[in-house]
């Protein structure tokens, strides 16, 4: 069976995050060791939440990296944000 060879890309997702309305983690997947401990990851997630929770912008700059944020609402009282960090 042939190995799949992907062409290199400048676009990289370092993490996928889903946060609730309070900035607490519902789901997080980190793809590198930029934030190796859970404490560092949660601090980073709080920083992203604090920067993006009161804005309608879907792109933010934090720590020399671009975050893409998609805010999601549900029919209940809970909402959240899906964040891609890279």
Which residues share a beta bridge with 81?
19, 71
List domains and CATH numbers for the chain.
Answer: 15-85 (3.30.450.60)
Question: What does the pLDDT look like over 30-75, one tens digit per residue?
Answer: 988 888 999 999 998 888 888 777 777 666 666 666 666 666 655 4
DSSP state of 54: T
Which residues share a beta bridge with 85?
15, 67
Query: Residues 62, 50: contact at Cβ < 8 Å?
Result: no
pLDDT at position 1 is 56
pLDDT at position 54 is 76
Rounded to whole angstroms, how far apart are CA atoms 83 and 26?
11
Query: Residues 30, 67: contact at Cβ < 8 Å?
Result: no
């Amino acid at each position: 069976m042939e190995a799949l060879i992907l062409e290199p890309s400048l676009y990289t997702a370092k993490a996928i995050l889903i946060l609730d309305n309070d900035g607490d983690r519902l789901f997080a997947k980190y793809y590198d060791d930029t934030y190796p401990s859970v404490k560092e990851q949660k601090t980073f997630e709080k920083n992203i939440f604090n920067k993006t929770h009161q804005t309608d912008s879907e792109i933010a700059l934090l720590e020399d990296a671009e975050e893409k944020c998609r805010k999601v609402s549900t029919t209940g009282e809970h909402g959240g944000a899906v964040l891609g960090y890279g």
